[in-house]
Amino acid sequence: MKANTLSKLAFVVGGSEGIGKETAREMIRQGFDVIIFSRNQSKLDKAIFELQSARQSLRQKTESCALDVTDWNMTKAMMEKLIKKHGTPDYLINCAGYARPGYIEDLEIEHYRKMMDLNYFGIVHTCKAIAPHMMKAKHGKIINTSSMAGFIGLFGYTGYCASKWAVVGFSEALRRELEVYGIRVSVLAPPNTTTPGLIEENRYKSMEILATEEKVKPVSPEYVAKSIIANLSNNKFMIHPTFEGSLAYRLSRFTPSLMNLFVRRKSESLS
């Protein structure tokens, strides 16, 4: 290993598995100092042990912090502590989230609240905690993970879609608010990705939802992570890892009636 100077610092929320972990790995391989966050300490311990082998420098920082981003006070205190110790991050990558599919008659109100708390408010909390420091530095990039469900209303995903649409709206407004400070804000909109979260999510899908999704092959978290890395230095707003995702985004905006033919519920059978 060689000594590392002027390394960029990245905070990766949801970095213990899936897209977040693979993004952290790619950033470490490129010489970044990386701090990963997750609620699950055992997953963090396993992930950081694995990620340290990707270091390119003896001086590279790889650290993990247990954090529940749905807790605003905890998030603010943790970010203040880390920024005091390491400085303002150059990149904030928000990948924490989960989906609980199901038809409206089957989902509990608590499912809706939990998805909004993690998928949306978790992002609001980290951005609110870190943005003022980036504003002082007049530098930084924020990438918030939404989904293709953040711009397409999919049957069986009323709660998830709502939380991910909120991420897009928040990020677009934040982008326009922070660009005067030299801060760039982007949204990642991945398709189904082969993560532990998808395995858990599939347990609750009806046969009709599963049949609809079988038409599109899921991508790997490594593939999505490479898309994030490829867009770190530009000012693109929507990051679509796949051509199909980019096409769906355009169809949903300009020909919503056509898109409706592919994503509406066709069966009256219950889940």
Rounded to 10°, the helix 243-254/256-263 angle is 120
Catalytic residue, candidates 43, 141, 164, 205: 164
Residue 164 annotated as catalytic: yes
Catalytic residue, candidates 91, 120, 157, 160: 160
The sign one gets for the Cα dihedral 200, 99, 29, 68 is negative
For residue 27, which amino acid is it?
Answer: M
Strand, coil or helix: 210: helix
Count of alpha carbons within 13 angstroms of residue 87, beta-carbon side: 14
Catalytic residue, candidates 16, 38, 146, 186: 146
Let me know the angle formed at the C-alpha of 38 by 123 and 81, rounded to the nearest 5 degrees: 75
Cβ atoms of 33 and 9 within 8 Å: the answer is: yes
Residue 160 annotated as catalytic: yes
- State the Cα torsion 185-223-248-173 to the nearest 10°: -10
Enzyme catalytic residues: 146, 160, 164
